[in-house]
């Protein structure tokens, strides 16, 4: 088997092998250097660096947006079939509807994409800085840096700052966040924060410096060390504080779409007990709290201290939200022993997934519904298989194109006993 980057299904291409070429290897890697018979889904990449040997960030710029979503749906289906046994045979899951990857709504007010172009959507960008102080991105499967002055998928407010056109002495990386409210935030990091000298930027932004090798604490240079993001919780605006380069969905429409999908799948009811695992700054905890009401309880579990502190600040007006700092795998057993289970569990783990230990602990809580937000279909499929072995079946799945021009996809899976 050969995985060919920059090609599309059905094409005839001239490909160059790029790795894993030992005869004993289970697969090889290659790059399409010439297209002999193109697919009807092929388009001209809008970025000149989306080519063999160029930037490794966008791997599907050569496919139309509609084709990208069809390919992502095929990937999600294949992973769940191969690793979780779904859509196969006569067992549970064979009757699930076909996976459809939904496009996220454009959000021009916050710099989102205009129409179905797949451009201008990325509100959070991390640049790696080379030895000459030039920001850029890594090529595919490489630690080299390709200097990038302009990124077509970045939010226009990111490009307006001129981060890629400046020189960053003593800097290892630069994070830029263009939030829903207020100026962008730029966070420069280096092995020695005292050596980082942020340059003058073309636009207005808050600037902070962090020590890449130390505690990661931020030093304010100008403005604030945090940004404010906003969603509607059952129609009511709510703001969330996100410090530094902390996690928030990068597509301007993703946080709202995922919150709405999670609440629709979980259907939290007044007085229920809900868990928000890997809760971050509290996006799903806020929605759950609104639904369970003052007589219910939401327990938010998060290991990152800055994210947990931001969540406490953003949700201080919701007394039904309780915070349990720490790793999910370490905190869950105590929740099961001390409170007698949960009605609803929502989890949004990192790309590696929740893992067997966490999934088994969730099953022991015996919730009536589990809603799993996943950014990696393979990790989701492995955890769905573990859940099935402990009595929980995948009953619904939604997928969202939260990362246009790339192979990444966001899923919301519903598991019930």
Q: For the chain, what are the domain ranges? A: 1-42, 124-227, 253-416
* Burial category of 416 from C-beta neighbours within 10 Å (exposed 0-12, middle 13-18, buried 19 and up): middle
Q: Which CATH superfamily does the domain covering 253-416 fall into?
A: Vaccinia Virus protein VP39 (3.40.50.150)
Nearest to 276, CA basis, from 301, 259, 293: 301
Mean pLDDT of the region 264-268: 98
Q: Tell me how far apart the alpha carbons of residues 376 and 408 are, in angstroms, rounded to a whole number.
A: 7
**Gap between the terminal Cα atoms of the chain:** 38
Distinct helix (H) and strand (E) counts, the chain: 8, 20
Per-residue model confidence as pLDDT tens digits over 351-395: 999 999 999 999 999 999 999 999 999 999 999 999 999 999 999
Compute the mean pLDDT over every residue in the chain, rounded to the nearest whole number.
Answer: 92
Q: Tokens 């902070």 sit at which residue?
A: 208
Predicted pLDDT at 63: 97
Nearest to 165, CA basis, from 147, 189, 184: 147
Predicted pLDDT at 107: 40
Q: Fold identical between 124-227 and 253-416?
A: no
Kindly write down the DSSP assignment for every residue of 313-325, as one continuous string: HHTTT-TTEEEEE
Structure tokens, 147 = 């200097």
Predicted pLDDT at 108: 35
DSSP state of 300: E
CB atoms within 10 A of CB 106: 16
Whether the predicted pLDDT of 266 surpasses 50: yes
Predicted pLDDT at 339: 58
Q: Tokens 């905190």 sit at which residue?
A: 331
Per-residue model confidence as pLDDT tens digits over 50-93: 999 899 999 999 999 999 999 999 999 999 999 999 876 555 56
Per-residue model confidence as pLDDT tens digits over 219-257: 999 999 999 999 999 999 999 999 999 999 999 999 999
Q: Distances from the Cα of 257 to the Cαs of 69, 101, 199, 284, in angstroms?
A: 16, 13, 36, 11
Indicate which residues carry an active-site annotation.
375
Check residues 41 and 113 and name the one with the higher pLDDT: 41
Kindly report the CATH number that applies to the domain delimited by 124-227: 2.40.50.1070
Per-residue model confidence as pLDDT tens digits over 100-129: 999 998 643 334 444 688 999 999 999 999
Whether the predicted pLDDT of 20 surpasses 70: no
Per-residue model confidence as pLDDT tens digits over 312-326: 999 999 999 999 999
What is the DSSP pairing of strand 185-190 with strand 173-177? antiparallel
Predicted pLDDT at 112: 44
Asked if 26 contacts 1 with a C-beta cutoff of 8 angstroms, the reply is: yes
* Burial category of 411 from C-beta neighbours within 10 Å (exposed 0-12, middle 13-18, buried 19 and up): buried
Provide the residue count of the chain: 417
Asked if 374 contacts 352 with a C-beta cutoff of 8 angstroms, the reply is: no
Nearest to 52, CA basis, from 14, 21, 10, 22: 14
Check residues 192 and 281 and name the one with the higher pLDDT: 281
Mean pLDDT of the region 157-182: 94
SS3 state at 308: helix
Question: Against a cut of 0.85, is the pTM above it?
Answer: yes
Q: What share of the chain is helix, strand, coil (3-state, %, to 5)?
A: 25, 30, 45
């Amino acid at each position: 088997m050969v995985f060919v980057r920059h090609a599309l299904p059905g094409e005839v291409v001239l490909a160059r092998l790029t790795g894993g070429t030992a005869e004993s290897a289970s697969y090889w890697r290659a790059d399409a250097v010439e297209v002999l018979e193109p697919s009807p889904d092929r388009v001209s990449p809008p970025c000149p660096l989306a080519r063999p040997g160029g930037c490794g960030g966008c791997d599907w710029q050569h496919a139309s947006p509609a084709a990208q979503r069809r390919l992502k749906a095929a990937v999600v289906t294949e992973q769940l079939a191969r690793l979780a046994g779904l859509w196969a045979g006569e067992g549970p899951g064979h009757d699930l509807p076909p996976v459809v990857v939904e496009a996220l709504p454009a959000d021009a007010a916050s710099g989102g994409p205009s129409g179905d172009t797949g451009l201008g959507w990325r509100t959070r960008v991390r640049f790696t800085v080379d030895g000459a102080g030039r920001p850029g991105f890594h090529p595919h499967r490489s630690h080299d840096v390709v200097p990038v002055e302009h990124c077509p998928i970045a939010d226009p407010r990111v490009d307006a700052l001129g981060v890629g056109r400046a020189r960053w002495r003593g800097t290892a990386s630069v994070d830029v966040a263009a939030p829903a409210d207020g100026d962008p935030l730029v966070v420069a990091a280096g092995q020695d924060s005292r050596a980082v000298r942020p340059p003058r930027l073309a636009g207005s932004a808050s600037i902070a410096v962090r020590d890449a090798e130390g505690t990661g604490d931020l030093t304010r240079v100008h403005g604030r060390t945090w940004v404010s993001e906003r969603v509607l919780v059952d129609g009511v605006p709510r703001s969330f504080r996100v410090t530094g380069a902390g996690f928030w969905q990068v597509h301007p429409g993703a946080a709202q779409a995922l919150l709405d999908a999670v609440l629709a799948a979980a259907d939290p009811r007044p007085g229920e007990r809900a868990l928000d695992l890997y809760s971050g700054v509290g996006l799903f905890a806020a929605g759950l709290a609104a639904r369970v009401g003052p007589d219910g309880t939401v327990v938010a579990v998060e290991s990152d201290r800055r994210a947990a502190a931001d969540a406490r600040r953003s949700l201080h007006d919701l007394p039904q939200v309780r915070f349990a700092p720490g790793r999910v795998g370490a905190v869950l057993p105590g929740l099961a022993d001390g409170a007698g289970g949960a009605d609803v569990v929502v989890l949004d783990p990192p790309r590696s997934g929740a893992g067997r230990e966490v999934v088994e602990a969730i099953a022991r809580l015996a919730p009536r519904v589990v809603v799993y937000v996943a950014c990696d279909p393979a990790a989701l499929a492995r955890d769905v298989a573990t859940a099935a072995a402990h009595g929980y079946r995948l009953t619904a799945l939604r997928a969202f194109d939260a990362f246009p021009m790339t192979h990444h996809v966001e899923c919301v899976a519903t598991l019930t006993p």
